Chains A and B, each alone.
Chain A
Amino acid sequence: MEDQDIINEFLIESNENLTRLEQEIVELERSPRDPALLASIFRTIHTIKGTCGFLAFTALESVAHIGENILSQLRNGERQLTPQLTSLILETMDVIKKELASIEATSKESGEAYEDLRRRLTLTFDEVQGGVKGTPGAQGQDAPRQADVEPAAPVAAAPEPEAPPQDAPPPEAFTKVEPEEAAASPQAAAAKGGSIVDSTIRVDVALLDKLMNLVGELVLARNQILQFNSRQEDATLNGTAQRLNLITTQLQEGVMKTRMQPIGVVWNKLPRVVRDLAASCGKQIQLEMDGAETELDKSIIEAIKDPLTHIVRNCCDHGIEPPATRAKNGKPAQGRLLLRAYHEGGQVNIEIIDDGGGISVSRVKQKAVEKGLLRPEQAERLTEREAANLVFLPGFSTAEKVTSISGRGVGMDVVKTNIEKIGGVVDLTSRAGEGTTVKIKIPLTLAIIPGLVVNSGGERFIIPQVSLLELLRLEGEAGKKQIERIHGTPVYRRRGSLLPIAYLNEVLQLPAANSDSDVVNIVVLQAEDRQFGLVVDAINDTQEIVVKPLGKQLKGLTSYAGATIMGDGKVALILDVLGIGQLSGVVSESHTQGRADTGKNEMSHQDHQTFLLFRAGKFERLAVPLSLVARLEEFPQARIERAGGKAVVQYRDQILQLSLLSSMLQDGETAVENVSDPAQVIVFSDGKHMAGLVVDQILDIHDESIRIGKKSERKGLSGSAVIGGKVTDFLDLPAVLQATDEAWSTESSSQPQSRSTVLVADNRSFSRGLVRNYLELAGHPVLEAVDQPDALAKLDRNEVGAVVISRNLPSGGAKRLVEQMRTRPGLTHIPVVALCDSSEELGAPDSSHFDACVERFDRNGLLQSLNQLAAALQAHELQGSPELMGVRR
């Protein structure tokens, strides 16, 4: 019997050859006459057949032989490739694979004779054979080359004439035999070797793993030496240690590179998969691959093989529609599946994009609720993206029937788990009717990572740097106060958004540090797409650490990702950021999140406002908040008429009065008619009244955060600020409107007005001024306060009817003010309206502290709220009820 080594060699090579053959066959379907492809395919199967015979795997050899004959017909142009033929060839290859597996397991063939396949192959072969110039040879061997050297009868399991060289032939013997057989193909030798280029060498993966381990150990030892070295004064030692450091780093990089393989290695199996699936589903799918040369560590490649295949299968099975459906929707009958891979920011991005039907968000939500994975009201609150990602929940599948391919509902969640196991993230976006994109992000390296060393509860832990966003340090009493509690959860206000806070020692059930320390250290972490802060006792330095897996007994602990050995020889645990987040409850497992947590990747649009920029008279750059603008219109001069001495125009069943802004802002009368034709008009409306301001030119619309606001003493202007990089004057709109028409000065509401004093608390003078304007226009006397203590002081000293407060006062001032007001007898009844920066904040749970929430520049909303609250207050007072404010929760 043969040497096991030779058989192993044979198995490796044959498997490689088969994989390549599969790819080539599928490619051949697309370009059936490509001679290079045909030649390559023929060579490959010829090689397989030859070595099979050499090793006395006769059944295998005979199957391969007939296959080869058919391929030869193809190559000679004696027949054309049809889908049926392709399927037959692929089936033959499957059989060969099966036999190879059997040989691998038992060193023998399986013993099956594959009669049916052989019969079909022979029949297929004979179809064409009959019509061709007859070649001698009972078994229809057509290529003269073959006749020379064909040693065995293809069908019968006769003893091989090649038996003699069998006694332990070295692998080189294959190369010697081949050139004799295939006289005209010297490349056969090279094809046998699998890769053409001599400058590569085949290395056992186990050996590479071993090297990687050793390098890991070296890194640890280097860390220890460096630590020891830092305490030594000897110059030679220092120098040598540094050199060791340098060499180790380079060695580490080099060894990691050896383990890198192009992702094409995984992708090259997919053309066949897609083809088979498409055929069995009756769909047409074209597979494109972009970035197959992107390199990944071998262990990562192993880990993503199955997930990728599953995602691709899903696309074919569920994503891409049948040609008829596609045609009906105006899409090309052939669906497109694009695989893309590229490096970005220390990670590998893999995208699977299809132009199929997309994911029906409503169906997904429905299924989730049906399966009890979600409550109906939770499903309501999901964004489109969150809903699409529901498919990753265990037990989920919207497939109406379970096919052998997919639909069992176990696929996508396993995909997600496997990807997360290697530290990656997967995300799904979909556009109904247009297609779906699955994006996977994986870190480049697994084994050696930079980590931050922290202390908690007397123990030392490592946090992987890849999850680390920021370090925060809160000092003193004021610092401690910055951690507020919302619904019992500690949170910290970080640049306008709320960051949930967890205490590491609590999560791990360790003793708390002695609290005489004045400092709170927070590590801001990212887990998937959520962020949270972790309070630790101390933060040390960053180190490169070798990740070692934990033993089986500890693998189930979600809080740890592994362990490492530190420079002082002691073991330290590496935290699993997502696990810690889940354990502490700050990162919920469910897919619905309270809107209070805006720790997503959206930038906090705290200060952003949309402004309309325009030019009027000598004011080159004027701005007004877009939210106040009703419409922008152009009126040809011909339409402008005169009534009551003022310029008017017939507009939407009303008479719109036009005023020339420039003449209002600067003295000197200019007639509206003398401005441009057509006249540029900004129309303002408060529901009852409309006014048109004629300007010289509408410039732009800017979404901007106000950085510098300066008040202005000029009439008609409320101040100036920088917008779009240029200093811009802001229109004092209420004043201007009032000047155009007295009617603006009274409120549109018919309810009795409360002209009580309103306190406006806002740290930003600019927006404070603007709000003041609205209120004064409406007849309210206004007091201003810059922050919460100031507001409180003014409340104490003055009779105030209502408080308008900016929700985002620093240090949680808004909430604090409300709390303080509630505790003071004279102030409890005063309604508080909060100004919010975005519509999302309006609905946030902690908005319930306030009596009402309106958007910052929503003048109407603000005035209406104040009126409603005042009316309610009056009503309650009349009833004598101490309980106030129906809106207060």
Chain B
Amino acid sequence: MNNVTTHEAAKPDIGKATDSNRQYSTFYIGDLFFGIEVLKVQEVLRYLEMTCVPLAPGVIEGLINLRGQIVTAVDMRRRLGFSKRADGENPMNMVVRSDEGAVSLLVDEIGDVLDVTAGDYESAPDNMPKEQREMIEGVYKLDGRLLLVLNTERVLQTQPLN
């Protein structure tokens, strides 16, 4: 939440079907507020026990059993360069659709589904840390806070293993 020059407060236009209205599923990592297009999100779950994958890249927290499907869980804190989650704090699962099937993003907290208007959209601010900026497509300026739109494809691209 940096220097946001607030334009006229963009009230979400519920019900007004302009073609630039979007809906986002939101979540929190630390005190950053992120959103993914609602259509890309398959479901949201509480914490599930995971099987760890030895030798996997650090961002892969493990595998979860999602109604019989084996889903890879990516720890968003690590992906975005945040510090490790405190012991005893369990992440939530935001399961997103991707080309190769479902992937679960481990987030700190789940937020509401929000409607946003295109007018509030801007590209990511320059004073964001590079790591985070790479994962963001853009931002929506909302009431007193920024909604960072996550670039899901980039997030799921993990380093090739040697």
Contact = CB atoms under 8 A, between A and B. Distances in A.
Query: Are A and B physically bound partners?
Result: yes
Interface of A: 217, 220-221, 457, 459-460, 508-510, 548, 550-554, 556-557, 559-560, 563-565, 569-573
A553 B99 CA distance: 12
A510 B156 CA distance: 25
Interface in B28-84: 49-57, 60, 62-65, 68-72, 74
B53 A560 contact: yes
Given A220-B68, A571-B63, A457 B53 contact: no
Q: Which 10 A-B pairs have the closest CB atoms?
A: A508-B54, A551-B72, A571-B51, A571-B63, A556-B161, A552-B100, A553-B158, A548-B70, A563-B70, A217-B68
A564 B158 CA distance: 22
Contacts of A509: 54-55
27 contacts: A457-B54, A459-B52, A459-B54, A508-B54, A509-B54, A510-B54, A550-B63, A551-B70, A551-B71, A552-B100, A552-B156, A553-B57, A553-B60, A553-B72, A553-B156, A554-B53, A554-B56, A554-B60, A556-B160, A556-B161, A557-B161, A565-B70, A571-B62, A571-B64, A572-B51, A573-B53, A573-B63
B146 interface: no
A210 to B, nearest CB: 14
B101 A551 contact: yes
Nearest to B62: A571
Contacts of A565: 65, 68, 70
A560 B54 CA distance: 10
Contacts of B101: 551
B51 A557 contact: no
A560 B52 CA distance: 13
B136 interface: no
Contacts of B49: 570
Contacts of A221: 68
Interface in B105-162: 156, 158, 160-161
Nearest to A456: B54
B52 A563 contact: no
B51 A551 contact: no
A531 B99 CA distance: 38
B55 A459 contact: no
B103 interface: yes
Contacts, number: 70
A453 to B, nearest CB: 13
B161 to A, nearest CB: 4
Given A550-B72, A551-B100, A570 B161 contact: no
A221 B68 CA distance: 9
A557 B72 CA distance: 14
A565 B65 CA distance: 7
B4 to A, nearest CB: 34
Most buried by A among B50, B54, B101, B161: B54
Nearest to A583: B55
A876 B109 CA distance: 81
A551 B103 contact: yes
Nearest to A460: B51
Contacts of B55: 508-509, 557, 559
A704 B5 CA distance: 93
A119 B144 CA distance: 76
A309 to B, nearest CB: 28
Contacts of B64: 571
A559 B55 CA distance: 9
B74 A553 contact: yes
Given A550-B72, A553-B74, A556-B161, A573 B51 contact: yes
A557 B68 contact: no
A221 B100 CA distance: 24
Nearest to A508: B54
A557 B100 contact: no
Contacts of A560: 53
A570 B54 contact: no
B38 to A, nearest CB: 22
A552 B57 CA distance: 12
Nearest to A563: B70
Contacts of A457: 54
B62 to A, nearest CB: 8
A791 to B, nearest CB: 45
Contacts of B63: 550, 563, 571, 573
Given A553-B156, A571-B62, 20 more contacts: A509-B55, A551-B71, A551-B72, A552-B99, A552-B156, A553-B74, A554-B56, A554-B60, A554-B72, A557-B53, A559-B55, A560-B53, A563-B63, A563-B70, A565-B70, A570-B49, A571-B63, A571-B64, A571-B65, A571-B70
Contacts of A552: 99-100, 156
B51 A570 contact: yes
A570 B64 CA distance: 8
B116 to A, nearest CB: 29
Nearest to B102: A551
A457 B53 CA distance: 12
A446 to B, nearest CB: 16
A666 B133 CA distance: 101
Given A459-B52, A551-B71, A560-B53, A570 B65 contact: yes
A556 B159 CA distance: 10
B42 to A, nearest CB: 14
Nearest to B64: A571
Nearest to B52: A459
Q: Which of B63, B72, B156 has the most CB of A within 10 A?
A: B63
A569 B65 contact: yes
Nearest to A560: B53
Contacts of A459: 51-52, 54
Nearest to B54: A508
A573 B71 CA distance: 12
Given A551-B71, A565-B70, A557 B56 contact: yes
Nearest to B103: A551
A221 to B, nearest CB: 8
Contacts of A570: 49, 51, 65
Contacts of A553: 56-57, 60, 72, 74, 103, 156, 158
A451 to B, nearest CB: 15
A29 B134 CA distance: 63
A270 B111 CA distance: 59
Contacts of A510: 54
Contacts of A557: 53, 55-56, 161
Contacts of B62: 571
B104 to A, nearest CB: 10
A338 B37 CA distance: 57
Interface centre among A220, A508, A573 (most CB of B within 10 A): A573
B51 A550 contact: no
Contacts of A559: 54-55
Contacts of B51: 459-460, 563, 570-573
Contacts of B103: 551, 553
Contacts of A551: 70-72, 100-101, 103
B146 to A, nearest CB: 28
A203 to B, nearest CB: 24
Nearest to B99: A552
B93 to A, nearest CB: 14
Nearest to B156: A553
Contacts of B69: 548
Nearest to A572: B51
Looking at A460, A551, A560, A565, the one whose CB has the most chain B CB atoms below 10 A away is: A551
A571 B56 CA distance: 15
Contacts of B74: 553
Contacts of A564: 70
Nearest to A509: B54
Contacts of B65: 565, 569-571
A554 B68 CA distance: 18
Contacts of B60: 553-554
B25 to A, nearest CB: 21
A820 B70 CA distance: 55
A64 to B, nearest CB: 40
Nearest to B63: A571
